Amino acid sequence: MPSSKDYKRNYKREYQTAKARGEDGTGHTSGSAERDRLRRQALKRGMVKKGEDLAHKVALSGHGPNTLANARAETPHDNRSYARNKDGSMKNIVDTHKGITPKPKAKK
């Protein structure tokens, strides 16, 4: 639903209420912030260069850890082009370079 014409969002208050509700994914605890911290560590150690992507050997969506041991440098083309299922999930989460398979998902 559209807001009124002169409505201004209070981002500070939105952030505070999201934190009060216990929502994840805001501020320094968000997934993107955690991935950025890992990338900065990899740059510092010389694992990746500018223009390269920091790829995960076992995809995060496949329950892979967000650690340097699970990271490697890849070209953006190789890292961002995966075969997808109809629902948008990756067809093959297995790492073709090292033969690493992800942990199986727990059944509900």
1-39 tens-digit pLDDT: 678 888 999 999 988 898 888 877 777 777 888 889 999
- Closest by CA to 49, choosing from 73, 32, 68, is 73
Q: Which tokens sit at 53?
A: 């992507």
Is the distance from CB of 58 to CB of 52 less than 8 angstroms? no
Domain encompassing residue 35: 29-103
CA-based end-to-end distance of the chain: 35
For 33, residues 6+ apart whose C-beta sits below 8 A from its C-beta are 27
- 71 burial level (CB within 10 Å; 0-12, 13-18, 19+): buried
Do the bridges between strand 53-56 and strand 71-74 make them parallel or antiparallel, or are there none, so unpaired? Answer: antiparallel
Instruction: Tell me, yes or no, whether 93 lies in a domain.
Output: yes
pLDDT at 97: 53
Please check the confidence at residue 67 and state whether its pLDDT lies above 70.
Answer: yes
Instruction: Tell me, yes or no, whether 40 lies in a domain.
Output: yes
Instruction: Tell me, yes or no, whether 17 lies in a domain.
Output: no
pLDDT at 49: 93
For 69, residues 6+ apart whose C-beta sits below 8 A from its C-beta are none
Threshold 0.85, pTM exceeds: no
Instruction: Tell me, yes or no, whether 57 lies in a domain.
Output: yes
Instruction: Tell me, yes or no, whether 81 lies in a domain.
Output: yes
Residue 74: strand pairing partners: 53
Instruction: Tell me, yes or no, whether 23 lies in a domain.
Output: no
Instruction: Tell me, yes or no, whether 20 lies in a domain.
Output: no
Please check the confidence at residue 61 and state whether its pLDDT lies above 70.
Answer: yes
Instruction: Provide the number of structural domains found in the chain.
Output: 1
Instruction: Tell me, yes or no, whether 7 lies in a domain.
Output: no
